[in-house]
Structure 1
Amino acid sequence: METHRNKKIVLAGGTGFVGKYFSEQFKALGYQVVIISRNNAHIQWDNHEEIEEALDDAEMLINLAGKSVNCRYNQANKDEILRSRIATTIALGNAIIKCNRPPRIWINSSTATIYRHAMDRPMTENYGEIGSGFSVNVATKWEQAFFDFNLPHTRQIALRMAIVLGAGGGVMKPFVNLVRFGLGGKQGSGKQMFSWIHLEDLFDIVLFLQSQENLSGVFNCSSPNPIDNATLMKALRKEMGVKVGLPSPEWMLKMGAVFIGTETELILKSRWVVPEKLVEAGYQFKFPVIDKALANILKD
């Protein structure tokens, strides 16, 4: 196996569900992993000198920073969702400019939510239509802040990530609990599309993009086989051995969202996204279909 000893990866916002997994995987490959975070155990966002030092001579920067969107969209939360993405991206770009040996590649998170509510056709990088509303506005400003940097020695890629599925975190826990307590039926009409990506594929895509030095720009990061909500819930029930699941009509979801402090958009928006550019570039998905993905995630 190729050794990466003494080679450095910088993970910004690397203490969440995805960041922890990435950190473990990169360390297993022999990389030195440096984390920038609000967590006191790591480099702080206001320590510009340490950030520059971390980025200097790094193989790759991956920015996962940003307040979770799993909250009520009151003004304070909306302001922080936007600020936490824009400010961190700008801080990283400014630090790279000052590096003597800047990172070879900077991968910045983005979101598949940038596309419109789509029930008629899938959204690709070339033919997808940007939507409207708060979440889309955040995504477009985030990408603009990222691509506003013109970095001659650092390749830039924005990953428009679909819903990330993996063991031990993310959206799997609430979905599993719904099924376990008999509420694992369709949500709303059940016809809204659900674009997803397995956590292992997400990591492998990052390695793939790192290795393909001709690739840059925007990439949809999702399975090539999106499904609708009803199919997702049926696949979960099947994998968990639960025969029935009560459906959740839209009015019930809206009421429940208030109680648990979230927004129904996370469930009801139809995200129909396909990874056209990744497929064209030759990436081979480890978990291309939902049944295989869920079997792997729920095997323990």
Structure 2
Amino acid sequence: MERLKLILAGGNGFLGQHLARHFTHLGYEVVTLGRSAKPGTVHWNGRTLGPWAAELEGAAVLINLAGRTVDCRYNATNKYAIIRSRTESTRVLAEAVAACRNPPAVWLNSSTATIYQHTEDEQPANTEATGQLGRTFSEMVAQQWEAEFNLAYVPHTRRVALRTAIVLGADGGALPVMARLARLGLSTQQGNGCQWVSWLHIQDFCRAVEFLVARPQLKGVFNLCAPTPLPNAALMQLLDAHYRPRWHLPQPRWLLEIGAFLLRTETELILKSRKVVPQRLLEAGFRFQFPSCEAALTDLLPRLS
């Protein structure tokens, strides 16, 4: 029996590697589109059509994770590259899908939970139906990204936009960096510690994508996050309880600003309040293996020790 084919665009990073393993285990033939010349990767530049487009013919699933990292300074050059990498890759995939005689049945395109505005403590969590979209640079990037996806003329392909929160894993993403700093005493609240953190265990990320692929009735926007966001101070307390460093170094906003400048990144990545819940996933019947951050960290942190 011929295996179902899954195309993973921009899939050589942390999330892509986990999705590739997950769907390979499910029996899919996974084809990764990437800019590097890694073995098993079909080359594409994320901007123009090429021989790679033939891989989409007859595929069951297309997942697009392409996008330049936002872990940088938001100067004009980087802002342009961040926007272009997302909108151009989405646009050229739309052209490739439109040209298929037998197009992919479903296309899942990355977005981000950062699309929602900074949410203060007393404000309700953002759902797909009631969430308030913001107007800062990163929030507008997400909106342009989704707009490009929605403009695609792919009438025979179901579309799902993945508004993904911070994904926690032992082998990539933000958690290994957070854990390393916590061991050194930076397990204190960042800024005032009141900013909300929306997060998701890497296993639940893969399971949620599988869940959305398997249900033809589900389309549109989905928040990919655990149902229990928590304040930054509570997250840092969990890290502190695990590592128990000998000393604790304060992390006021002014110090974070200096550190971000020296590391060529932005404090928004840790100071923006993201209070998001996965209403549509829960209503569709998805059940999280790691619904609480404490359970997720209990599973993941021992692998980092």
SS in 2 for 1:169: coil
Partner SS for 2:81: helix
Is 1:7 the counterpart of 2:8 in the alignment? no
Aligned position for 1:277: 280
Selected match of 1:255 from 253, 258, 276: 258
Q: Is the aligned partner of 1:80 residue 2:77?
A: no
- What's 1:43 paired with? 43
Deviation at 1:51, TM superposition (A): 2.8
Deviations 1:203-253 (A, max 9, x none): 100110011111100001110000000000001112234475333000000
Post-superposition shift, 1:17?
A: 0.8
Specify the SS of the correspondent of 1:186.
Answer: coil
SS at match of 1:34: strand
CA deviation profile, 1:124-177 (whole Å, cap 9, x unmatched): 111011011110110000000001113221100000000111111110122111
CA contact (8 A) 1:194 1:272 kept: yes
- 1:17-166 to structure 2, matched below 5 A, reads 17-41=14-38, 42-45=42-45, 48-119=49-120, 120-166=123-169
User: Match of 1:264, as an amino acid?
Assistant: T
8 A contact 1:12–1:62 mirrored in 2: yes
CA contact (8 A) 1:11 1:62 kept: yes
Q: AA paired with 2:264? A: G
Three-state SS of the structure 1 residue aligned to 2:167 is strand
Note closer, same or farther for the CA distance 1:88–1:115 as it changes in structure 2 (3 Å cut).
Answer: same
Residues in 1 aligned to 2:67 and 2:262: alpha-carbon distance in whole angstroms: 23
Does 2:211 match 1:214?
no
Identity of aligned residues (%): 45
**Runs of 5+ in structure 2 lacking a partner?**
none
8 Å CA contact retained: 1:179, 1:242: yes
Stretches of 4+ aligned residues off by more than 4 angstroms: none
Partner-residue secondary structure (3-state), 1:52: helix
Read off the aligned partner of 1:234 and give its amino acid letter.
Q
> CA shift at 1:5, angstroms?
5.4
Whole-angstrom distance in 1 between the partners of 2:254 and 2:67: 30
Report the CA distance between 1:47 and its aligned residue.
Answer: 6.5
Q: Which residue of 2 is the match for residue 266 of structure 1?
A: 269
Q: Deviation per CA, 1:164-209: give whole Å up to 9, x if none.
A: 1111111012211111001110000000000001111111001100
Contact 1:193–1:229 (CA under 8 A) maintained in structure 2: yes
Structure 1 residues 253, 106: closer, same or farther in 2, change over 3 A? same
**Deviation, structure 1 residue 299:** 2.3
What is the Cα-based RMSD across aligned positions, in Å?
1.4
In the alignment, the residues of structure 2 paired with residue 7 and residue 244 of structure 1 have an alpha-carbon distance, to the nearest angstrom, of 53
Q: Distance in 2 between matches of 1:89 and 1:276?
A: 26
CA-to-aligned-CA distance 1:6-62 (integer Å, 9 cap, x gap): 211100000111111111222222211111111123321366242321111111000
Q: Distance in 2 between matches of 1:18 and 1:258?
A: 27
Question: Which letter does structure 1 place at the counterpart of 2:4?
Answer: K
Query: 1:245 maps to which residue?
Result: 248
The separation in 1 between residues aligned to 2:89 and 2:187, in whole angstroms, is 37
TM score, norm. by length of structure 2: 0.94
Q: Identify unmatched segments of 5+ residues in structure 1.
A: none
Whether the 8 Å CA contact 1:9–1:33 is kept in 2: the answer is yes
Query: Aligned to 1:11, what secondary structure does the other structure show?
Result: strand
